[in-house]
Amino acid sequence: MLYCVEMEVVVPPGTDPDTLARLKADEKARAQDLQRRGQWLHLWRVAGRYANVSVFDVESHDALHDILSTLPLFPFMTLRVTPLARHPSSLA
């Protein structure tokens, strides 16, 4: 199943810079692992915001939830998830 996931990160003021740097590094490693596994198909930065638009390919809503909730920055994220379906006019 394909999902469009919009993620926005809001880090609380006063967050320790070293803790934040570690979380960002862990987030990058997790995102790249999921991409290598073929579950995180696309990852696009939203210009001017600490946000991204991503496409995931996983077997179920529960599987997507499990993945998203394991992201190191998950506690600081606002997420919007949209299930996707093939468009009848698409050539792909």
Whole-structure pTM value: 0.91
What's the Cα-to-Cα distance from 5 to each of 20, 45, 56, 68, 89, rounded to whole Å? Answer: 22, 12, 7, 9, 23
| pLDDT score for 92 | 79
| pLDDT score for 64 | 98
Domain range summary for the chain, segments of one domain joined by +: 1-9+36-77
In this prediction, residues 14-41 reach a mean pLDDT of 97
Q: Quote the mean pLDDT of the chain.
A: 97
* pLDDT tens string 45-84: 999 999 999 999 999 999 999 999 999 999 999 999 999 9
Nearest-CA neighbor of 39 among 54, 24, 50? 54
3-state secondary structure (DSSP) of residue 8:
strand
For the domain made up of 1-9+36-77, the CATH class stated in words is: alpha beta
What's the Cα-to-Cα distance from 69 to each of 62, 75, 80, 87, rounded to whole Å? Answer: 10, 8, 13, 29
| pLDDT score for 15 | 96
